Structure 1
C-alpha cells in the first residue's frame, strides 16, 4: 500500500521525539522483544510476505532458523521474488548441512564473508512503496527469532532515506567482497569442517527426554521435571483426601513412565503391578523403573507370553497374558498395593476390566495422552472421575519437555485442476507424478540432523506397500508396516530404522501409540485428518528429544479433504469448534509455544479455510458425542458452565446458537424426557439468545438482584456505577427496555413471551412469568446456569464501555449496546445514523453473487486508516450524508464494525471509533454501468487496528 510521507514523519516524531503527540502516524519504529504476544519471526515474515526483494546479513544460521522461513520463501519463489544472504563460517557455527539447505532454495543467492569478527544481524525487505529493516541481536536461528530475549528495532524507510541507503551501500561492498556459495564450496567446507566444542551444559537431557539427569559426584541422579513435580504433588494431595484412584492425562513424550516411577517412589508400595498392552512397552518401562527405584534387577520382573515371573516386587505385565483366567488365578486380589495402567484409554476393554475387577490395590493410577475415546467406551468411572493432573501439548512445548517442531501444511498433488481428495484411487495416490511431487516437497522442507529417520502415515495397507516399492525404486530405504505384520517383524524393522538401515517406516495407524523412537526427525502425513486425536498421536511419535535432532519436521500433504478443518484444532489444541478461532488460527504465527512454528502454503491454507466454512460443526450427532464425553468425564450431567470451562469440548455457544436453550438440546439428544411450560421455554430462549453471552453484564446483574427481591431503580443504578460498569440514565433505560421486551421487534416478542421485569413505583420487580418459571426446579437451575454463564463469559468484554474493541457484535447488539430504544437492525443495512451515533458495518470481502451496486471499495489503507464508501446514489449534498458529516463534526461518534466475509455469519468485529478525514471527502461514480454517484472518505481509526486481526481481514484466504 502507498505510504503517506506525512504520516511516516508523524510516526517517527512519536517514536523518537514525543510519544504523546496527537498526530496520525503510520509504520512507527518499534522495538521487538520475543514474548508470548509477539516475536521477531512473525513481524519479519509479515514484511517478507509482501516484499519484492530482500537482503539478509547474519553471522549464524541454523537448520531450524532456515526452516521457519521456508514456506514464505516458497510462496515468494512463485512470484519470482529473490533475495540475497551474507553469512559466515565464524566459529564453524554454520554446519555444512545448512549451506546445502540454502542451495536447495531456488530464490536465494548466498555468499560467505571472510571478514574477521563478522557478527552483523540485519534483515531488509523492499517493496515498491517502502523498505522495512530489522536491526538488532537476532541471528537466523529459530530460538533467536522466536524465543530468546533479544533486542531488535524495526524501521520503515522510503527508498531515498539515508539509513537504508547506507545499509544498501555497505551490503553491496560486503557482497562483492564475499565468496559465492555453490556445491563445490560446500563440499570443500564439509571436508575441512570441525565442529567447535560447545560450552558443556550443566543440564543434560537424556533418553526419553522427559526428565532431567543431573551429574552428581557418584553418577547420574534422575529428578522430575517441572510438570512431573506438579503432577506428583497433585497425586499426593489426591491420596490425602482419601482417594484411592487417579488419572493423569499427559501429552505424548512428556514422561508418563517416569512420572509413574516417581510416584511409586513417593508411595513406597510393598508390591507394584504395571499393565501395558505390548511387551516392548514392558521392557522399556522395566528399565526406566530400575534406573530410578532402589533394588536389584531381580526385583523387576516381566509377566507376558514369553516369560512369566510372578513373585517380584515390581511386576510388569501384558494385559493379554495376565487377563487369562488360568494366569489371573495365581494372584491374590491383595497382592499389589499399587497398580499402574499404561495407555489407560484402553482400560474399558474386557481384558482390562477382568484384571481391575480381580485386584484390590491401595492406589490405582491410570496414564493416557488421549482420554477422549472414539469407540464410545468411557474410562473415567474406572478412576472414580479423579483427574489428578493434565499435561497438555502446548504446556509441554513451553516447558521444553518435548522437541520443538516445525509443521508445514503443504499442497498435495494437483493435475488438470483436480487435487487429491477423499475419493482418490490408489493408482492416482501412488502415480509417478505424485511421488515426484511428494519427494520434491519432502526434500525442500528437509529434516534436522545428518541422518534421515522418517515416519510416513498413509491411508491403507495397499497404499503403504505401493509407496514403499515406489520409494525403494528411487533409492530410498523403506519398509511398510501394517496390522498384518507380527510383533517380531515390527521390532526388527524399528531396530533396523534406529540403526540407520532404513530412511522411512511407512505405516497405517499401528504406530499411533505405544511406540517410542526418539530418533524420528521427520513425520510425513499422507492421509486426510479424520480425527484430531489421531493427528496428535502421530505427531507425537517424533516429539521425543534426541541428541541427533534439534527439532521435528512435520510435512502434512493437504488435499481437497472435507475434514481439513480438524488440522488447526489438532495443532492448537483448541477444541471449542469456534469457527472464528479456527479461521484466525491459520494466520496466527504464535499459535504454538516455544520455538515451534506452524506454516501453511497458500493453497493448503485455502483448502483448510474452505473446510472450516463449509463444515457444520454443530451437527446434532457430533454435539451428542461431545456431551457424552463430558458427562463421562465428570460423572454427572454437564452444565453449560462445564462446557465453558473444559478445553476439550465444544464452546457452549455452539449449542445455544443451534438450539433455543440447553434443555431443548438435552431433549433432542434424548438425555432428558420432559415437558416444560411454554412460557418457561420462551423465557429460557430469551436468556440463551440475549443474555448468556454477557456482552453487557448489567442485565444479568439486575435479573439476579430482582430474583432475590424487588430492587430500587436508583439504588441499582448507583451500585452498578460504583462497581465501575458503564452506566448512564440511557444505559438504565436500555437495560429495562431489553428485559421488558420493549426494545425487541414484534417477531422477537412473540418468540420470547412475557417480560421478565416490571416497574412498580420506584422499584423493579420480577414478573409473574419469571417467578412462575422459578417454581420449576429444573427451569430454576437452568436460569441460574445461564446467568452464571453470562457472568463467566462477560469477562472477555470491557464492561466499563458499551463496546469492546476486537470482540464480535451483530447489528442487533449494536442497537442495544449503543442504547437505541428499538431494535432497528433489519433496516440498518451498511450504516445508520440514529440517537447521536452512527454504526458502520462492513463486509470486507463481498460475495461474488452480491449485486454490483452494493460492492463498494471499502479498504484499509493501513492499520490506522479505512477508506469507506457510502451507499449508491448518494452525493455530498444528499441529506443522509450531510447529516452524518455535520453530526460527526459536532461530536457524534462513528463506530466501525467489520467482518471478513459472509461465511462468518451475522457478527462483526468491533474495531473502535473512526474519525472522518474531511480533507479526503470526494464524490465519484460507481463502475456499475450506470454511473451511480457514491461518496468516498477516509476514516482515521481512534485505536490502531490489532495487527493479527488486520492481517486476517487483509489476507487472501
Structure 2
C-alpha cells in the first residue's frame, strides 16, 4: 500500500503543480476548498476526520454551531478510540465561555489554549494509514466558515517524511507545548473576565404587549424578501378577479405578518381572522396591531370568553364562530376580507359551515401543510389559486428560519436489543433509558445559555413518566397533553420561556400552531409515522430568536419500519423512488444554509434497512399521492405534472401498473379506451425509454409524433443541435430498439410484436397508428417525461458517473446487437466493451456457492474476483487483464446489496494492473478448493466519498 500511495501521490502532485491534464486520484490531489454551489469545506473536513488515525486542529475561532457540525463524527471516532487535539485561543474574545464547555464534552479530544499575541492560525492536520493530509487557509471552526462564507483553503497530501508536513507538525507541537490545558476551573475564571465582542449588530425585537401603534410606526415595518414576492402574487391574483387564494408557507416563515401586510394593503372595512386555538389567536392579534396599527378598540376577540363582534379587526376561534347563533349575528357580507389560518383543517364541518355562510370580497387561506389523507380537497375551496408556496429547503436558503443541527442517534437498548415499538416502554428499565437520553442530549447540547427544550413522546403515559424522571435528574419538566386546559398550556409555556423549567414533554398537541421561539432543543422520542408530522415537530424550533444561534434536533431512531420517512421529511422528496431516497440519505448536502443533518452510524443503517425492506410503491401510497396532486390541479394529472409538482417519480407510478392508462383505470377514472396494441406501445416506451438514459429514441419518436416521417440526415442535424452522440453504432442501436430487433421474442410479443419505426431509404417513418387522440396524448406524455429525465445524463457519453444502470441498460447503451442481460452475470465481453457488475455485500443465503472477496481498497483501486473455476490462462480473462492492448473498455458497476434491485452505480472506466493479476484458490461453501483470478483495477475517476463510504458501509 505504501508504494501505491507514493505512486498516486506523485501523479497528484504533478497534476496539481505541473500539468492539470495528468490523470490522478482525487484522494491525494491538491485542492482549493471553497463554499460554493458544488461543494463546501465541511464534507472534506468530515471525510478526513472519518478516515484518520489521529488529528490536530489549530483555529483561532470556534462557535457552538461550527463544533456541532463535527460532533457526530467525533463521537464515532471516540467509539474507535481515535484521538485528536485542538489548539485555540481567546483572541479578540471571539470564543464565548459556553463553547469551551462544549469542547470539554469531547472525551477523545484534548484541548489547549495559547496566549500567543495575535494568534490567528487556521489549520487541520490528519494522520492516515500511509499518508497525511492538511488543510490550511481561511476557515475557522465556525458554521459560516465551513458551509456558507466564501473561503479559500488549500488541501495538500503528503507522506510522513515530507518537509512541508513536518514543518506544519513542528509548528503545531511548538505551540502545543507552550499552551495550557482547557479545564473547568479555567472556564470559570474566563467567565468572570469575558466580555462579548462588539459585532456592530443590532437585534430588533417587536414588543409583545402593544396597545396602540401609530401609522407612522407601522409603515416602518417592511416585508421580507419572501413576503414581498408573496404579496405581489396575491395582489396579482386579485387584479385578475380572483376572490380566493391559498398561501403555503413553511413554519416560521412569517405567514401571519405576511397576511397582515396584505390586509394593510387591502384596507378592508371589516376583517375576520379564524384559527382553531385561542393562543394562536391572541398572538396573531398582537402581530396585526404591529403591522396595521390603529386604536385598541378596533381589535377584538371572538372566543368562549370574549364576544367583541363589532370590532373592525375580529379574531375568532372556529369553535365559537361556527355556532349557529353566533353566525346569525353577522350579515353574510359583513366581512370583506376573511383569513383562515391552519387552513388544512378546513375539511371539518365547522370550517365548511363558516366558509359557506360568509360572502367576503376576498378569502385567504394559510397553511404549512396542505396535504391531507382524507378525501377533502383544500385546493378546490380556494379555486385552485395557490398564490405562493415556500417549503423548508427554500426557507432555509432564504435565511428565513433559525438554522438547525439534526442528529439522528441510536435509541436505547435493553440487553442489546433496541426498542421495537412504543408498547414495550412499560417493560423497559426506565431509569437506564433516561440516563441514555440525558447522556446523548447533553453531548449534543443546545444554543444559548439556558436550555429550553421540547420533547415529543410516543404516548401520554410516556410523557408524564419521563417528565417526572427528568425532573428528578435536575431538569425541571412538565408534561402537557390534550387533556390539559388552554390556561395550563399557556402557563407552562411561560414557565419554559422564563427559564423556570427546562423541558415540556408532549405527544402531539404542539405539532402546529404553537409559537415558542425560545425553544433551542427538540427531542424526538417516538417513531416517525408521517413526514408531515415530522416537519411540523421540527418546525417548533425553527423560529428565530435573539437568544439562540441555532436549534438542536435530537431524534432517537429505533428499529422502526417507517425510518425511511426521516430523509423523506428532511429533503421534501415525495418521489417514492428508493434510489432517490437513498441518495438523499447518503449525501445531505442539499440542506441549505448552515443547517446540517447528521446520523450516527447505526442509526443511518437503520434508515437504509427501512428503505430496502419497505414497499413504498403500494397501491395505497400511489393512490394517496395521485389524489393529492389531482386535488391540487383540479384535473387528472399527466405524468409530467408529477415531475413539475415534485410528486411521485413517474417511473415508480407505472412500475407496478405497466402503464399510466392502466393505473388510471385502477383509480376508477372515466377515461377513453385504448386498444391492446396501444397499451403495449405505451408499456414499451415507459419500460425501456422513459428513464432517459439515452435520449436518441425519445428525440426521434418525439419528432415523428409531429410529422410522421423524418430523413436520417434531418435527424442527425437535430442530434448535433442537441449536442449528443451521432456515431454510427449508437444510431444503429437506436434503430434496433425502435424496430424491437434488440429484444428477445418474449419481449417483442409483450411490446406489440411490430416495429415502432420503419427505416427505409434513410428515412424514418412512424409505424404506430395515431387515430386515437387520447393514445397520442399518453405517448407524448411519456416522451416528455423521458426528455426531462434525460437532462441528468451526459448524452455525450455512454454512461454518466454515479447514475444507476441495469444489465439490460448496459446491453443497450453499449450498442450490443441484442439483449444479453440474462447471460451477463458478473461480466461479459462483447467486441470492444466489457461491463463488470458487482454486488458489494453478498447475501450469504442467496449468493453462489463461492464467497467472493470483491473490495474497494481505495476510491481509486478495486480488487475484483473472476468467476470460478478460472485461471490466468482463461481466454476471457486474458482479454480483461490486457484490455488496453486489445482495445477493450471495461466499465465498473457496483450496488451495495442485492436487495437494492437490478440497478448498479456506474463508477466509470477501469484499467487492470496486469502485473498484479493473480491466480488463487478459494473455498466453496462445501469446503472444496477452486481456482479464481483476482485483478486490481485502477479507476479512471475517483469515487465520490459519500458513494464510496455508502458502498463500503462506512458512513460519513
> TM-score per shorter chain, which class?
over 0.9
Instruction: Name the structure 2 match of 1:513.
Output: 512
Q: What corresponds to 1:156 in structure 2?
A: 157
Aligned equivalent of 1:697: 695
Partner deviation per Cα, 1:429-484 (whole Å, 9 max, x = no partner): 56111111111111111111111100000011111111111112222211110000
TM-score of the superposed pair, with normalisation by structure 1: 0.95
| CA displacement at 1:23 relative to structure 2 | 5.8
1:921 aligns with 2:917: yes
**What residue is the counterpart of 1:842 in the other structure?**
838
Distance (Å, rounded) in 2 between the aligned partners of 1:402 and 1:207: 17
**3-state DSSP of counterpart to 2:913:** strand
Deviation for aligned residue 1:931: 3.7
Root-mean-square deviation (CA, aligned residues, Å) is 2.2
Structure 1's 607 and 494: CA in aligned 2 closer, same or farther, altered over 3 A?
A: same
Q: CA deviation at 1:274?
A: 1.2
Q: CA deviation at 1:420?
A: 0.6
Q: 1:623 to 1:299 in 2, by over 3 A?
A: same
**Counterpart position of 2:443:** 444
Give, in whole Å, the separation in 1 of the partners of 2:67 and 2:743. 57
Aligned to 2:52: 51
> Any idea what the Cα deviations from partners look like across 1:643-674, whole Å, max 9, x if unmatched?
11112x22111112222111112222333577
> 1:207 and 1:253, CA in 2 relative to 1: closer, same or farther beyond 3 A?
farther
Deviation by residue 1:706-743 (Cα, 9 ceiling, x = unmatched): 33323334443444344422122222221221112111
- Is 2:825 the counterpart of 1:824? no
Q: Where does 1:872-887 land on structure 2 (aligned, <5 Å)? A: 872-885=868-881
Query: Is 1:901 matched with 2:897?
Result: yes
Moved more, 91-100 or 527-536: 91-100
Alpha-carbon distance change, 757 to 116 in structure 1, aligned in 2, over 3 angstroms: same
Provide the C-alpha distance between the structure 2 equivalents of 1:100 and 1:501, rounded to a whole number of angstroms: 22
Corresponding position of 1:86: 87
Q: Equivalences for 1:237-386 in 2 at 5 Å?
A: 237-386=236-385
Q: Following TM superposition, by how much is the alpha carbon of 1:338 offset from its aligned partner in structure 2, in angstroms?
A: 1.5
| Change in 2 beyond 3 A, CA 1:219/1:281 | closer
2:899 alignment partner, SS class? helix
Number of equivalent positions:
944
| 1:61–1:98 CA contact under 8 A, matched in 2 | yes
Matched position secondary structure for 1:452: coil
CA contact (8 A) 2:26 2:942 kept: no
Q: Which residue is equivalent to 1:136?
A: 137
Aligned match of 1:391: 390
Q: Does the residue aligned with 1:46 lie in a helix, a strand or coil?
A: helix
Give the whole-Å Cα distance in 1 for the aligned partners of 2:76 and 2:201. Answer: 40
Q: Which residue of the partner structure matches residue 19 of structure 2? A: 18
In 2: Cα distance, 1:123 partner to 1:22 partner: 26
Is 2:663 the counterpart of 1:665?
A: yes
Shift in Å, 1:927 = 4.5
Counterpart of 2:791 in structure 1 is: 795
- CA deviations 1:336-355 (Å, max 9, x no partner) are 22211111101121111111
Counterpart for residue 38 of structure 1: 39
Post-superposition offset of 1:298: 2.0
Alpha-carbon contact 1:915-1:940 (below 8 Å) kept: yes
Residues 14 and 20, structure 1, Cα contact 8 Å, conserved in 2? yes
Task: Determine if contact 2:837/2:892 at 8 Å carries over to the other structure.
Answer: yes
1:80/1:24 Cα in 2 relative to 1: closer, same or farther (>3 Å)? Answer: closer
| 1:528 equivalent in structure 2 | 527
Distance 1:393 1:137 in 2: 30
8 A Cα contact 1:457 1:527, kept in partner: yes
Would the aligned equivalents of 2:275 and 2:317 in 1 still touch at CA under 8 Å? yes
Aligned to 2:765: 765
Alpha carbons of structure 1 residues 554 and 208: separation in structure 2 relative to 1, 3 Å: farther
Counterparts of 1:710 and 1:229, CA distance in 2: 50
Alignment of 1:148-227 (within 5 A): 148-201=149-202, 204=203, 206=205, 221-227=220-226
Corresponding residue number in structure 2 for 1:944: 942
| Residue pair 2:447, 2:552 contacting (<8 A) in 1 also | yes
Are the counterparts in 2 of residues 254 and 396 from structure 1 also a CA contact under 8 Å?
yes
Superposition deviation, residue 299 in structure 1: 2.0
Structure 2: gaps of 5 or more residues? 209-214
**Matching residue of 2:211:** none
Q: Residues 363 and 696 from structure 1, CA distance in 2 versus in 1: closer, same or farther, beyond 3 angstroms?
A: same
- Cα deviation, 1:777-802, whole Å, max 9, x if unaligned, reads 43232112111111121111222233
Structure 2 counterparts to residues 493-892 of structure 1, below 5 A = 493-647=492-646, 649-672=647-670, 676-707=674-705, 708-755=707-754, 756-767=756-767, 770-771=768-769, 774-851=770-847, 854-885=850-881, 888-892=884-888
- Alpha-carbon distance in structure 2 between the residues aligned to 1:89 and 1:439: 30
CA shift, 1:33, in A, is 0.6
- How big is the shift at 1:115? 1.2
SS state at 2:154 partner = strand
Q: Secondary structure at the match of 1:365?
A: strand
TM-score relative to the length of structure 2: 0.95
Does the C-alpha gap of structure 1 residues 499 and 168 become closer, same or farther in structure 2, counting only changes over 3 Å?
Answer: same
Equivalent residue number for residue 212 of structure 2? none
What CA distance in whole angstroms lies between the structure 2 residues aligned with 1:619 and 1:98?
Answer: 48
| Counterparts of 1:450 and 1:887, CA distance in 2 | 64
* SS of aligned partner of 2:841: coil
CA distance in 2 between counterparts of 1:41 and 1:710 reads 54
How many angstroms does 1:886 deviate by? 5.3
Q: Give how far 1:815 is off.
A: 0.9
Q: 1:218 to 1:741 in 2, by over 3 A?
A: closer
**Cα deviation digits, residues 12-59 of structure 1 (max 9, x gap):** 121122223356675111110112322111111111112222111111
- Give the 3 Å change call, closer, same or farther, for CA 675–349 of structure 1 in structure 2: same
Query: Once the 2 structures are TM-superposed, how far is the Cα of residue 863 of structure 1 from its aligned partner?
Result: 2.9
1:102 aligned to 2:103? yes
CA distance in 2, matches of 1:286, 1:59: 46
**Which sits farther off after the overlay, 550-559 or 809-818?**
809-818
Q: Is the 8 A contact 1:208 1:253 kept in 2?
A: no
> Take 1:879 and 1:402, find their aligned partners in 2: how far apart are those partners?
63
Any idea what SS the aligned residue of 2:819 has?
coil
8 A contact 1:37–1:590 mirrored in 2: no
1:757-780: CA deviations, max 9, x gaps?
22345433333xx20xx3334323
Q: Does 1:418 align with 2:417?
A: yes
Distance 1:47 1:87 in 2: 20
Which residue pairs with 1:29 in the alignment?
30
Distance in 2 separating the partners of 1:421 and 1:476: 27
In structure 2, C-alpha distance between the alignment counterparts of 1:872 and 1:850, rounded to whole Å = 17
Instruction: Point out the more displaced range, 922-931 or 49-58.
Output: 922-931
- Relative to 1, partners in 2 of residues 1:460 and 1:723: Cα closer, same or farther, differing over 3 Å? closer
Q: Which moved more, 1:286-295 or 1:440-449?
A: 286-295
Deviates more, 1:242-251 or 1:580-589: 580-589
Counterpart CA distance in 2 for 1:481 and 1:851 is: 52
Deviates more, 1:297-306 or 1:850-859: 850-859
Deviation for aligned residue 1:217: 11
| Kept after mapping to 1: 8 A contact 2:138/2:151 | yes
Answer yes or no: is the 8 Å Cα contact 1:911–1:945 preserved in 2: yes
**By how many angstroms is 1:687 displaced?**
1.4
Could you list the per-position Cα deviations for residues 836-881 of structure 1 after superposition, in whole angstroms to 9, with x for gaps in the alignment? 2212212222222354655433333333333333222222221112
- 1:489: how far off? 0.9
Identify the range of structure 1 (914-923 vs 516-525) with the bigger mean alpha-carbon deviation: 914-923
Q: CA deviation at 1:132?
A: 1.7
